[in-house]
Structures are given as C-alpha cells and as structure tokens.
Chain A
Amino acid sequence: GAVVSQHPSRVICKSGTSVKIECRSLDFQATTMFWYRQFPKQSLMLMATSNEGSKATYEQGVEKDKFLINHASLTLSTLTVTSAHPEDSSFYICSASGRSNQPQHFGDGTRLSIL
C-alpha cells in the first residue's frame, strides 16, 4: 500500500525556535498534501491543503505566516512552524493523495513540544 513518511517523529525545543517537518510520499506521486493538527483526545483539524507547485490554501484561523508550507515536488511537502511558542505544542500529521479519487494516506505524525 501507499506509504507516507513524516519526519521528525518528535521534537522538543525552546520557545522562539523554528521547526521544520517533512512529509514524503515514498511510492506514489502526491499531487495534494494535507497538514492536520490534533490536540489530545481530539479529532484532526485540517490546517492547510497544498498542491505541488502552488501556494497552500489555509483553513480559516490558521496563520499562514506562522505555519509555512512548501510543496516543491510531487513527493515532498514541508511545514515550518516559525518562532514556535508553547501554544503551538501539538501533534502534527500530514497526509497525501495521488489522483483526486484516491484515499489519503497519513504519515505517523510529529509530536511537537515547545518549552
């Protein structure tokens, strides 16, 4: 089955640090990648949708200058949390899909803890 690799799996860093999370589709070309955020015991909240070669579409309430998304190739999207603060601590999960009628496949998530 389709594999999505997400790195790093866990990050602990000081307030003010910028953190980059990578999402790669390993065995298929991902025309669309999605970034979600999950709080403890909550559902996944879509943050943004990114299509290869174009600007990401952010959901209402998500700061695009805070959460920078780059989708430079059909197999890689990155999410950079800029100047992270404790309230940015969360579980971030990416997903990728190929053709529009294909299901999304998820990475294993990144646990971000800002001290």
Chain B
Amino acid sequence: GEDVEQSLFLSVREGDSSVINCTYTDSSSTYLYWYKQEPGAGLQLLTYIFSNMDMKQDQRLTVLLNKKDKHLSLRIADTQTGDSAIYFCAERRNQAGTALIFGKGTTLSVSS
C-alpha cells in the first residue's frame, strides 16, 4: 500500500508491556523510526533501526523489524503512565531522499 499503517489506539495497565505495530510501504527503505508526541508538543525521537538489523534494544524499548513482511514493532517494557502519548512510526524511503513518511500514530493510554 501507499500508506504507513498503524493501529490507532492501544490501552494497557501500568507495569504491563506495550507493543505497537506498524506496516511500512517500501522494502528498500533504509531507516525506520519511532517518535513519541505528547499533547501539544513536537516529536521526540525514541529510537530508530537500520534496515539491515532485525532487532534493536535500548533500555525499556525493543524494536523488531521484519523486512520480508515490512513490519516494524515497538515494545515498551514495564509501561508507565508517563509513556501515555502518541507514537509515530516513520520510514525513510530512498526515492524521497531524506524526507520521512509517517503513519497516523498510535495513541497509547496507560492506566494505573
């Protein structure tokens, strides 16, 4: 498809793991990103993965990449209420230069 697809909502309990999924569009995309946006704020880069990697872990965050299926996931371990935000998946397509293509964002709601 033409769009980067994400589920729109995810609700978890504090302490549980959250998994946010994304399907991107271009198998030749070089970098895939996860950004976090809190209400009224800009985007904060959480992590990114190069296309020749399958997995990247950074503290509570784990990114899994399945190039065959063009599927990207972000796992947040021990989710906290402060993790409540919108999470955007983005890909950098070769033909677009360095411009990023964003999904519509997944709103993560963490309840205590």
Partner-B contacts on A (CB < 8 A): 1, 4, 6, 32, 34, 42-44, 46, 49, 93, 95, 97, 100-101, 103-109, 111
Contacts and interface: CB of A to CB of B under 8 A. Distances in A.
B35 A32 contact: no
Interface residues of B, number: 21
B45 interface: yes
B88 to A, nearest CB: 7
Interface in B84-106: 88, 97-105
Contacts, number: 51
Nearest to A46: B99
A107 B42 contact: yes
B45 to A, nearest CB: 6
Chain A, interface SS category: strand
26 contacts: A1-B45, A6-B42, A34-B99, A34-B100, A42-B104, A43-B103, A43-B104, A46-B99, A46-B100, A46-B101, A49-B99, A93-B42, A93-B43, A95-B43, A95-B100, A97-B98, A101-B30, A101-B31, A103-B31, A103-B45, A103-B48, A104-B100, A105-B45, A106-B44, A108-B41, A108-B42
